[in-house]
Structure 1
């Protein structure tokens, strides 16, 4: 099944299935979030009632981000990516021992999610980059509260997958990371998701014997192939990412967990680190970034004009007086 959100005309948002070359709304005006909250089995039964329905032609609607995420966790699960991008940050290519101990993630902004074809409006930056990722979408499982899941239980929470582009302003990110916190403003201006959610049952045959999703991912800039990798080169399968996210915490329907950037050119920063120069060049306004993942589809985005924000004053160096006036 493919599940999407779309706009047919201004002010009219549709949510439902992509069936063939048509979009078919959920019955009873259900939303994607409500379907996620009822689980994959419910979605399958709903699809049976909708599969013969008539809908708008896919090429007559504008696809939106396939869901409004409850939260977005973005992992760094590809060893090859870490090797390359670390060199672009501090000149030293390495994978620290701590990376192997457990999957690492940061939270990014669910309020700046972009859909297919929606241009990104970056901050003023000299090193705008893309990041090719696959994201897993969490769904409900009857009897589960999403807390402290083991990997088997976490696997049941995989509702489906989508493509994720974690836009990155590398110069801003580099400054933030030197403070040993973040990334923040180097990332939170935009995350593209789409073109739809492909449900877990559709991609089940692509799981290898160890539970890794063995599908091919590619990224092109202005039709030039920049990077390609197998998603199964992750250090952990998606079920273990969900299990770790739930550890002493909770995952809920609508959560999105990104794989982190694939290796072998999944972002420009990795290539800059390996080559010691800005080749290929940073993204510029008008560039078109197209990501394709086997079994999921294609997510294409355009770089818009940078947005100038108000200046932020430097820190005030205070006296450190310990008594109030």
Structure 2
């Protein structure tokens, strides 16, 4: 199933299944509880009229998630980002999947504009996949495949990054703050686990790629992650609760951001993003997540 949050011509917001011929509105409202209910039990959907895609606006599948954790599980990304400085991947990275919390209030959807943060001259994209938590859980066991029952579905995610702001704040030791605080894109729809190819328990294969102004810059198969989704969900739930609608990002796939390509020596071909650029993330059954970069209206040159 592919489930989207859509705006209708009358101004209302509904959930809808995405089909070849358009979208079919699902009854029961467009809140997080209804979204996760339909994803976990498609039989609970009450499909209505089929509408052409041109008659609806695709919105972020979850407009205000309870929380957004973003992991970093692709070794290639970590290694590439450190290429120019010659630093190795930290040994601690291999012990458990690492993550940080980002801003749930900054979630944007497909075709939304993303403004360059004030003071930023090094705007970057980050090509990721996220899972949506479907039920309340706590202290899951990463060795128990049943912890995957907590996953309602998967969605493309762009963890926009202001690299120059991030570099200035990271030495403080509290992780990315304003370098990540301004926008996280989710969409265009959430897919249930059966839409992806399972290659091992807790691991799915799906080729994802990023393009800027129509030019592919990089991508990878999400199956190349060093940690599986059992480990990601269990780590997130350790000593706490996960609730329906929580978002768990995978972190950037290898070659899935401008920073990596520049560190690998391809600076001339990969400038930092600027106003007017169109960024697209492609993911097969996950669809295409597209955003245009715009100037910050409060920025003075």
Q: TM-score, with normalisation over the residues of structure 1?
A: 0.86
Q: CA deviation at 1:239?
A: 2.1
The C-alpha deviation readout for 1:197-245, integer Å capped at 9, x for no partner, is: 0112322xx1112532111011110111100211011111122101100
Structure 1 Cα separation of the partners of residues 237 and 246 of structure 2: 11
For 2:60, the equivalent position in structure 1 comes to: 65
- Equivalent of 2:193 in 194, 197, 200: 200
Structure 2 Cα separation of the partners of residues 228 and 58 of structure 1: 27
Alignment of 1:44-193 (within 5 A): 44-47=42-45, 49-50=46-47, 53-68=48-63, 69-87=65-83, 91-124=85-118, 125-140=120-135, 145-151=136-142, 152-193=145-186
Structure 1 Cα separation of the partners of residues 268 and 93 of structure 2: 26
Q: Does 1:271 align with 2:261?
A: yes
Q: Does 1:5 align with 2:1?
A: no
Contact kept, 8 Å, 2:2 with 2:191, in 1: the verdict is yes
The C-alpha deviation readout for 1:31-73, integer Å capped at 9, x for no partner, is: 241224546443x1124x42xx323211221110011311110
Structure 2 Cα separation of the partners of residues 276 and 37 of structure 1: 42
Alignment of 1:276-315 (within 5 A): 277=267, 279-308=269-298
Give the secondary-structure state (helix, strand or coil) at the position aligned to 1:120: strand
Q: CA deviation at 1:92?
A: 3.2
Give the secondary-structure state (helix, strand or coil) at the position aligned to 2:137: coil
Q: Does 1:14 align with 2:14?
A: yes
Structure 2 Cα separation of the partners of residues 39 and 80 of structure 1: 35
Structure 2 Cα separation of the partners of residues 154 and 139 of structure 1: 11
Q: CA deviation at 1:298?
A: 0.8
Which of these two proteins has the greater Rg computed from alpha carbons? 1
The C-alpha deviation readout for 1:112-148, integer Å capped at 9, x for no partner, is: 11111001012131100000000111102xxxx4110
The C-alpha deviation readout for 1:141-177, integer Å capped at 9, x for no partner, is: xxxx411011323211111000000100000001111
Structure 2 Cα separation of the partners of residues 115 and 40 of structure 1: 19
Q: Over the residues paired in the alignment, what is the CA RMSD in angstroms? A: 1.9
Q: TM-score, with normalisation over the residues of structure 2?
A: 0.92
Q: Unpaired segments of 5 or more residues in structure 2?
A: none
Contact kept, 8 Å, 1:220 with 1:227, in 2: the verdict is yes
CA pair 164-257 structure 1, distance change in 2 beyond 3 A: same
Contact kept, 8 Å, 1:115 with 1:194, in 2: the verdict is yes
CA pair 171-12 structure 1, distance change in 2 beyond 3 A: same
Q: Does 1:242 align with 2:233?
A: yes
Q: What is the number of equivalent residue pairs in this alignment?
A: 296
CA pair 307-98 structure 1, distance change in 2 beyond 3 A: farther
For 1:323, the equivalent position in structure 2 comes to: none
Q: CA deviation at 1:11?
A: 3.3
Q: CA deviation at 1:180?
A: 1.1
Contact kept, 8 Å, 1:36 with 1:253, in 2: the verdict is no
Structure 1 Cα separation of the partners of residues 16 and 22 of structure 2: 10
Structure 2 Cα separation of the partners of residues 4 and 32 of structure 1: 12
